[in-house]
């Protein structure tokens, strides 16, 4: 247990002049860490609570405890004499009375706690909500790892070795192939950026802003210095931290003490004694996150200014999201199907992509994009000499070096990964396009016939495999699948004749009988970035899965509605339910109303629970009382606002007499294509603009007006807004 007030008092009395006077980056960092560690140690106490003195629940009083014990005693007596009607009647009456009192007291306690938390801060309010609804189950400690060996320390060291060397072992398998790995580089033109990144020194104001922006948690790395401690003592610690950051930038050194990570294994599924069934969660020192954020802001600014990252990459970039990535892919498929082309998409699954990155190759790529001299030395030092250990409960493994991969849990790691696979996003493939969100990559191919399309796809996959091998990345063949898209079933290909192979043997000639590589699986549907894409793009399967997820929230709202006021309930609805309904809704929201009907029924089930409405309450009354939009109205709002953000407005048509053609509508030939947002967004925007001049409104005013307008529309009027008038 930490005494934060005592830590603050002692830090205020501590002289940090030695840190400020040091001119060595590593020495200054060690001095600051040692000083803070000693203070934390002085104000840490260990408290052991006896189980019999630990309260069962905070709302259970001694009187309620006696009532529960009497109930349990009566039940025990009834079990001894189950045919005694007097005991049975007495027990049932007392049990019902006791349970009723417990339920009433519990609800009163939860209501008071929720009201109290809502007046303080939203974080505390959500903490209480999670306790009431049990929405977030507590993560159990991975003690099963310790049982792999008779010696717990030996077991945890084996786990640490597996997590640290899994990427290195995958890279070794690629290096063991007996063909030239450099051949993949010829498919990717190397564009060397003539400009160079210059890292500027930081200042006190930036460091304070950076520390305040960190998540206020008590979790910490190996040094036990948490974000909370830094934020509570920011006025004193900001100056020495600024000094350390500037030493790092000017000397090209990343402090060695900040390169040690602590791994916490979290079980995913399957056998708990198998290391591959655990997800390693990395904890880095908080001081490392401060320095990384300062470097990250300058690095990303340089990448965007120089337009280095591919336009096909949507991951970890400002202004881009998963919705943009899925929308980009579906728009390419719709464009192909609309003109009668045959179309398929291959969804790549990279095996431990972040862990298998070759550090020398990454540094070479950094140099090519303009990170040179002292800046390159800093990133070289950041990537090298990194260590990690595994912690399970109170057991900690020995630290071992990590030679492959970007640092997990770091601020810079995702951006460095984007730089590493940037050439893949720019890879030239015939009649194909690449869409990526970090390592989630989809390849789309089109052609006039299935023979042509599959030939293009095989050529593209061969080039991708060469690039992956040359960059020491592995493809998970079992999870890499492809879909053949079509509007009507009879245009699907014959899979006995058409197939795709991801060659891992180095033999790229599919006519050779020596190749034993497995063919990729053709599937009818696949989940890509949280959206289930099916071969006919009607999104029936996605909407069905989403409906089931929404209905699972009924229990949560049933538990919460007795304790929370209407305002809190609406906040929880927006956070838990509407966030699911609006995720990538611009992609699937134009589906047929027969598919959307089950999802809107699930939405209404949640609203009826929140407002204590009977099951047969009319639909109009439900939405009027809840003051929320239907699923179709959420789709209209989303694509209208996306169009409003789009600067592609026809300036020549900004005429009061022609308000209906402010946006040029993308024309399609088929009714199938007209269900998607590229067509509907322009159509809706022009229709709404004809009612009111929304293109002249600020974004916030436009959103408010559109929301209020469509909220007053009936079901038939909403559907009519989407109809194409002949």
Residue-wise DSSP of 446-462: EESSHHHHHHHHHHHHH
Q: Give the DSSP letter string of 668-700.
A: -SSTTGGGSHHHHHHHHHHHHHHHS-GGGS-HH
CA distances (Å), 674 to each of 299, 488, 633, 683, 720, in order? 41, 16, 17, 10, 14
What is the C-alpha separation between 342 and 486, in angstroms, rounded? Answer: 7
Structure confidence by residue, pLDDT tens digits, 119-177: 877 878 888 888 888 776 656 667 788 888 888 888 899 989 998 888 888 888 877 76
Measured between alpha carbons, how far is 61 from 50 in angstroms, rounded to an integer?
18
309-355 pLDDT, tens digit per residue, is 999 999 999 889 999 999 999 999 999 999 999 999 999 999 888 88
Mean pLDDT value across residues 90-99: 94
How confident is the model over 449-460, as a mean pLDDT? 92
CB contact at 8 A, 407 and 282: yes
State pLDDT tens for residues 219-246: 788 888 999 999 999 999 999 999 999 9
Whether 654 has a pLDDT exceeding 50, the answer reads no
Q: What is the pLDDT of residue 658?
A: 52
Give the pLDDT band (50/70/90) at residue 647.
Answer: low
Q: CA angle 439-639-662, nearest 5°?
A: 125
Out of 58-62, 111-115, 617-621, the most confident range is 617-621
Question: Interior CA angle at 342 toward 311 and 478, to 5°?
Answer: 70
Question: What pLDDT is recorded for position 652?
Answer: 40
Q: Centre a 10 Å sphere on the Cβ of residue 131 and count the other Cβ atoms it contains.
A: 14
Indicate whether 490 pLDDT > 80: no
Question: Does residue 185 register a pLDDT over 50?
Answer: no
Query: Which pLDDT score, from 0 to 100, does residue 67 have?
Result: 92
Work out the pLDDT band at 511, boundaries 50, 70, 90. very low
Residues 280-301, mean pLDDT to the nearest whole number: 93
Mean pLDDT of 500-515: 64
Q: Look up residue 160 and give its two tokens.
A: 């640490």
pLDDT at 184: 43
Has residue 567 got a pLDDT over 80?
Answer: yes
What is the enclosing helix (H) or strand (E) of 41? helix 25-42
Q: Are 467 and 184 in contact (CB under 8 A)?
A: yes
* Of 297-311, 505-519, 521-535, 691-705, the least confident: 505-519
Whole-number pLDDT of residue 565: 87
CA distance 539 to 532: 7
Q: Chain-wide mean pLDDT for the chain?
A: 87
Q: Which run of H or E residues covers position 344?
A: strand 342-348
Question: pLDDT grade, residue 270 (50/70/90)?
Answer: confident
Two structure tokens written together for 175: 């290096």
Rounded to an integer, the average pLDDT of 354-368 is 91
Spell out the residues 6+ positions from residue 211 whose beta carbon is closer than 8 angstroms to its own: 227, 230, 231, 234, 238, 241, 290
The answer to whether 254 touches 291, Cβ cutoff 8 Å, is yes
Q: For residue 558, what are the contacts with CB-CB under 8 A and spacing of at least 6?
A: 609
DSSP letters spanning 528-552: ETTEEEETT---HHHHHHHHHHHHT
CB within 8 Å of 91: residues ≥ 6 apart? 71, 74, 75, 77, 78
Nearest in space to 308 (alpha carbons), one of 425, 438, 430, 188: 425
pLDDT tens per residue across span 370-413: 999 999 999 999 999 999 999 988 889 999 999 888 888 899 99
20/241 Cα distance (integer angstroms): 9
H runs (alpha helix) in 176-321: 204-213, 227-232, 234-251, 286-305
Question: Which class for 272: exposed (0-12), middle (13-18), buried (19 or more C-beta within 10 A)?
Answer: middle
pLDDT reading at 118 higher than 90? no
Mean pLDDT of 179-184: 48
* Residues forming beta bridges with residue 391, ordered by sequence position: 396
pLDDT digits (tens, 9 = 90+) for 547-566: 999 999 999 999 889 888 88
pTM for the whole structure: 0.88
Given this model, what pLDDT does residue 178 score?
A: 53
Residue 726 clears pLDDT 70, i.e. is over it: no
């Amino acid at each position: 247990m930490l005494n934060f007030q005592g830590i603050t008092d002692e830090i205020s009395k501590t002289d940090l002049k030695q840190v400020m006077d040091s001119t060595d980056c590593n020495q200054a960092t060690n001095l600051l860490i040692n000083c803070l560690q000693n203070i934390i140690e002085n104000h840490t106490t260990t408290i052991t609570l006896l189980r019999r003195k630990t309260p069962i629940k905070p709302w259970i009083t001694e009187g309620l405890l006696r009532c529960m014990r009497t109930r349990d005693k009566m039940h025990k007596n009834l079990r001894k004499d189950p045919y005694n009607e007097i005991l049975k009647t007495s027990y049932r009456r007392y049990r019902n009375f006791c349970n009723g009192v417990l339920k009433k007291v519990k609800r009163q306690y939860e209501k008071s706690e929720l009201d109290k938390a809502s007046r303080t801060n939203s974080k505390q309010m959500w903490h209480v909500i999670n306790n009431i609804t049990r929405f977030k189950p507590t993560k159990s400690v991975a003690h099963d790892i310790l049982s792999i060996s008779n010696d717990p320390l030996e077991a945890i060291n084996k786990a640490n070795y597996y997590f640290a060397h899994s990427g290195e072992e995958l890279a070794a398998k690629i290096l063991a192939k007996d063909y030239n790995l450099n051949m993949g580089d010829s498919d990717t033109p190397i564009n060397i950026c003539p400009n160079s990144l210059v890292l500027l020194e930081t200042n006190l104001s930036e460091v304070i802003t950076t520390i305040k922006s960190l998540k206020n948690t008590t979790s910490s790395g190996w040094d036990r210095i948490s974000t909370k401690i830094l934020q509570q003592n920011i006025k004193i610690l900001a100056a020495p931290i600024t000094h350390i950051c500037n030493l790092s930038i000017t000397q090209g050194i990343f402090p060695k003490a900040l390169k040690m990570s602590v791994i916490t294994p979290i079980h995913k599924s399957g056998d708990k004694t198998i290391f591959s069934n655990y997800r390693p969660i990395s904890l880095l020192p908080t001081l490392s996150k401060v320095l990384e954020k300062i470097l990250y802001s300058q690095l990303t600014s340089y990448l965007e200014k120089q337009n280095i990252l591919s336009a096909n990459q949507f991951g970890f970039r400002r202004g881009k999201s998963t919705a943009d990535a899925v929308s980009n892919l579906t728009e390419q498929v719709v464009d192909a199907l609309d003109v009668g082309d045959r179309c398929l998409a291959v969804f790549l699954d990279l095996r431990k992509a972040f862990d298998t990155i070759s550090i020398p190759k990454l540094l070479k790529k950094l140099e090519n994009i303009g990170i040179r001299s002292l800046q390159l030395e800093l990133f070289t030092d950041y990537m090298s000499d990194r260590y990690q250990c595994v912690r399970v409960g109170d057991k900690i493994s020995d630290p071992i070096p990590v030679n492959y991969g970007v640092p997990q849990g770091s601020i810079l790691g995702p951006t460095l990964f984007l730089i590493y696979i940037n050439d893949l996003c720019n890879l030239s493939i015939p009649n194909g396009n690449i869409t990526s969100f970090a390592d989630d990559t989809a390849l789309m191919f089109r052609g006039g016939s299935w023979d042509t399309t599959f030939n293009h796809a095989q050529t593209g996959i061969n080039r991708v495999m060469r690039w992956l091998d040359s960059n020491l990345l592995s493809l998970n063949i079992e999870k890499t699948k492809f879909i053949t898209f079509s509007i009507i079933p009879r245009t699907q290909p014959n899979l006995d004749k058409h197939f795709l192979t991801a060659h891992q043997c180095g033999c790229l000639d599919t006519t050779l009988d020596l190749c034993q590589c497995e063919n990729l699986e053709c599937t009818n549907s696949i989940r890509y970035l949280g959206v289930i894409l099916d071969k006919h793009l009607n999104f029936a399967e996605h909407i069905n899965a989403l409906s089931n997820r929404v209905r699972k929230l009924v229990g949560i709202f049933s538990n919460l509605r007795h304790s929370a006021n209407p305002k809190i309930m609406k906040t929880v609805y927006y956070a838990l339910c509407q966030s699911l309904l609006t995720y990538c809704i611009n992609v699937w929201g134009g589906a047929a109303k027969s598919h959307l009907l089950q999802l809107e029924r699930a939405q209404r089930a949640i609203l009826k629970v929140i407002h204590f409405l009977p099951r047969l309450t009319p639909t109009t009354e439900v939405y009027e009382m809840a003051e929320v939009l239907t699923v179709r109205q959420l789709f209209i709002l989303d694509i209208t606002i996306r169009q409003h953000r789009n600067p592609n407005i026809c300036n020549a048509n900004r005429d009061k007499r022609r308000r209906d053609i402010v946006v040029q509508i993308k024309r399609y030939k088929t009714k199938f294509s007209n269900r998607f947002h590229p067509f509907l967004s322009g159509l809706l925007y022009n229709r709404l603009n004809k009612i009111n001049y929304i293109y002249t409104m600020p974004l916030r005013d436009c959103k408010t007006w559109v929301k209020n307008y469509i909220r007053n529309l009936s079901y038939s009027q909403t559907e009519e807004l989407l109809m194409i008038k002949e």
